[in-house]
C-alpha cells in the first residue's frame, strides 16, 4: 500500500507544483491534453500502467473469528487489493474433517470483512502448481500470503513451497490469542460441564472459561490447553480495526445492540440490513455480565473485547460501543443522535416485548424503533448446536490440533509485525 499510494501523492504534488510554477505553459498544455486526457504525463497514464498490487490469502475460515480478520487486515496491508480463497467443504472434509460452517455461510463471513476486495470460492486446500499458475495468470496475483505458523500437507510437504520457490510468498505474523480450536474447546467445555452438574460449581467454572482465563478445575482436573485464551486486548488492535470516522453532519444514525457472540453469517446479514436504513451504523455490544444474565451462565463464549473486534471488522459497521447498556435510554439516543433503533427477528432475545422492562421502551415510545426481518435463520445457539451434535468428532480433531497449537506456543519466539 505504502509505496504506490505514496508515489501517487508525489505525482499529484509534482503536477500541482509544475502548473503553479509555469502558469502559461501549464495552461497551454492543459488545453492540449484536455481532449486526450490519458496522455497527461503526471496523472492517469502512469497510474494506469502501474496496476495495483494484488495479494492472495486462502483459508477455511471455519468458525471465523477476529484472528482471521486480523490476518486479512495484515495481508491487505502488503498490497493494494486483497483476494481471498475460501476452501470448499469437500476439501476441508478431506483434509481436516467436517467444517462447522458450510461454504455459503463462510463466504458471507469473508465477504463481510472490510479488508477483503474479492473472494474466490471453492479454493483448493493446498496451492498446487496448477492453481498457483491460475492465481498469477487469471487473477493477476502478485503475492501469496500466509501466517508464520507452518502449514504442512498430509504428505509432510510445505503447502506454500511452490509460492516460495517462485519468490511470490510473503509472511504475516500469526494473531495471538485465539484460534478456532480454542473456541471449539470453549464450547465443548460448556457442554461437558453441563453434563457433570453436581460435582462442580457451575457458574464460577463457566464464567472462568467464558472469559478464557481458567487454568484448572477445582477438583484438580487439568484443563486441556485449548481452553486457555492467549488473547490480550490492546488499544492498538482496536485502533487498527476501527474506521476512525465520525458520522457526517447530516448522517442518519442507526443503532443496533446485542451480544454478537460467535459472530456468524446471521449477524452479518442483520448488520447489512441495519446499515441500509441509514448512513452510519452504531453497534452496541453488551457486556459479558449482561450476556450471562440474559442468555445463561455459559455465555458468552467470546468475551467483550473479542466480540467487539469481530463486529468492528465487519464492513457494514461504522462504530461500536464496547459494553452497551441493556436499555436504550433517551440520554443515549440524544448523545449519539440516533435516528433509528433496530432489532432482528431471529435474535435470541425475542421475548423482550413480553418482559416487564422492555429495553426498547424509549425508542418505541419515540416512534423510532423497527424490527428487521432477518433473512438468515442462524443464531449463536445454532452454531453451538452444530458443534455439540458432532461432539465426538470435534473432540478428537481438537485434541490433535490442540497439541500442535500447544507446540506452537511452547516453541514460539518473537516475530516482528503487527
Ligand X SMILES: *[C@@H]1O[C@H](CO)[C@@H](O)[C@H](O)[C@H]1NC(C)=O
Q: Nearest Cα to 319, choosing from 380, 265, 245, 258?
A: 245
| 358 part of the interface to ligand X, by CB under 6 A | no
Number of residues that bind ligand X (CB under 6 A): 9
Range in contact with ligand X (rule: CB under 6 A) among 95-103, 210-218, 246-254, 383-391: 246-254
3-state SS class at 255:
strand
State the Rg of the chain over Cα: 25
Smallest gap, in angstroms, from Cβ of residue 193 to ligand X? 11
Q: Which stretch binds ligand X (CB under 6 A): 75-83, 196-204, 396-404, 406-414?
A: 196-204
Does position 373 interact with ligand X (CB under 6 A)? The reply is no
Q: Which residues pair with 285 in a beta bridge?
A: 258, 322
CB atoms within 10 A of CB 381: 15
Give least dist CB 200 to ligand X, A.
7
CA distance 341 to 91: 42
Q: Nearest distance from residue 219's CB to ligand X, in Å?
A: 12
**Residue 329 neighbours by CB under 8 Å, 6+ apart:** 362
Tell me the closest approach of the beta carbon of residue 336 to ligand X, in angstroms.
Answer: 9
96 binds ligand X (CB under 6 A): no
Of 250-269, binders to ligand X (CB under 6 A) are 250, 252
Asked whether position 249 contacts ligand X by CB under 6 A, the answer is yes
- How far is residue 171's CA from residue 116's CA, in Å, rounded to a whole number? 17
Q: How far is the CB of 257 from ligand X (least distance, A)?
A: 18
- For residue 32, give the 3-state DSSP assignment: helix
- Give dist(CA 231, CA 306) in Å, integer: 8
Decide whether 125 or 255 has the Cβ nearer to ligand X: 255
Half-sphere exposure (CA, 13 Å, Cβ side) for 88?
Answer: 7
Residues 335, 278, 314, CA angle at the centre, nearest 5°?
90
User: Which cell numbers hold the place of 242?
Assistant: 476501527
Q: Which three cell numbers stand for residue 322?
A: 464496547
**Is residue 201 involved in binding ligand X (CB under 6 A)?**
yes
User: According to the binding rule CB under 6 A, does residue 339 interact with ligand X?
Assistant: yes
Q: Which of 28, 157, 203, 345 binds ligand X (CB under 6 A)?
A: 203
Site membership for ligand X, residue 230 (CB under 6 A): no
Point out which span in 48-56, 124-132, 150-158, 247-255 binds ligand X (CB under 6 A): 247-255
> Taken in order 397, 401, 402, 403, is the CA torsion positive or negative?
positive
Residue 246 sits in the site that holds ligand X (CB under 6 A):
no
Q: Is 202 in the site for ligand X (CB under 6 A)?
A: yes
Nearer to ligand X, 13 or 192 (CB): 192
Site of interaction with ligand X (CB under 6 A): 201-204, 249-250, 252, 337, 339
Amino acid at each position: 500500500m505504502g509505496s504506490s499510494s505514496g508515489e501517487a501523492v508525489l505525482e499529484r504534488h509534482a503536477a500541482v507544483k509544475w502548473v503553479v510554477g509555469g502558469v502559461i505553459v501549464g495552461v497551454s498544455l492543459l488545453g492540449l491534453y484536455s481532449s486526450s486526457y490519458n496522455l497527461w504525463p503526471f496523472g492517469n497514464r502512469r497510474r494506469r500502467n502501474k496496476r495495483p498490487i494484488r495479494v492472495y490469502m486462502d483459508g477455511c475460515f471455519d468458525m471465523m473469528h477476529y484472528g482471521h480478520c486480523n490476518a486479512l487486515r495484515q495481508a491487505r496491508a502488503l498490497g493494494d487489493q486483497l483476494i481471498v480463497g475460501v476452501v470448499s467443504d469437500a476439501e476441508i472434509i478431506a483434509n481436516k474433517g467436517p467444517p462447522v460452517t458450510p461454504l455459503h455461510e463462510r463466504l458471507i463471513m469473508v465477504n463481510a470483512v472490510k479488508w477483503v476486495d474479492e473472494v474466490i470460492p471453492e479454493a483448493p486446500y493446498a496451492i498446487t502448481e496448477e492453481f498457483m499458475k491460475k492465481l498469477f495468470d487469471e487473477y493477476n496475483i502478485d503475492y501469496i500470503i500466509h501466517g508464520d505458523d507452518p502449514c504442512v500437507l498430509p504428505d509432510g510437504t510445505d503447502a506454500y513451497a511452490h509460492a516460495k520457490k517462485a519468490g511470490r510468498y510473503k509472511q504475516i505474523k500469526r494473531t495471538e490469542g485465539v484460534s478456532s480450536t480454542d473456541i471449539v474447546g470453549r464450547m465443548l467445555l460448556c457442554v461437558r460441564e453441563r453434563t457433570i452438574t453436581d460435582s462442580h460449581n457451575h457458574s464460577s467454572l463457566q464464567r472462568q472459561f467464558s472469559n478464557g482465563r481458567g487454568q484448572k478445575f477445582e477438583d484438580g482436573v487439568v484443563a486441556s490447553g485449548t481452553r486457555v485464551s492467549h488473547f490480550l486486548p490492546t488499544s492498538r488492535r482496536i485502533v487498527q480495526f476501527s474506521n476512525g470516522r465520525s458520522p457526517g453532519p447530516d448522517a442518519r444514525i442507526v443503532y443496533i445492540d446485542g451480544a454478537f457472540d460467535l459472530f456468524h453469517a446471521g449477524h452479518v446479514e442483520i448488520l447489512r440490513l441495519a446499515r441500509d436504513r441509514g448512513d452510519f451504523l452504531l453497534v452496541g455490544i453488551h457486556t459479558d455480565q449482561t450476556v450471562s444474565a440474559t442468555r445463561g451462565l455459559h455465555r458468552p463464549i467470546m468475551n467483550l473485547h473479542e466480540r467487539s473486534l469481530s463486529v468492528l471488522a465487519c464492513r457494514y459497521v461504522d462504530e461500536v460501543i464496547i459494553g452497551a447498556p441493556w436499555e436504550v435510554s433517551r440520554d443515549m439516543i440524544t448523545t449519539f443522535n440516533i435516528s433509528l433503533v433496530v432489532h432482528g427477528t431471529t435474535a435470541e432475545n425475542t421475548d423482550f416485548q413480553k418482559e416487564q422492562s422492555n429495553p426498547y421502551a424509549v425508542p418505541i415510545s419515540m416512534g423510532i424503533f423497527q424490527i428487521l426481518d432477518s433473512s438468515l435463520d442462524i443464531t449463536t445457539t445454532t452454531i453451538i448446536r452444530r458443534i455439540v451434535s458432532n461432539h465426538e468428532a470435534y473432540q478428537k480433531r481438537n485434541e490433535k490440533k490442540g497439541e500442535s497449537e500447544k507446540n506452537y506456543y511452547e516453541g514460539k519466539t518473537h516475530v516482528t509485525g503487527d
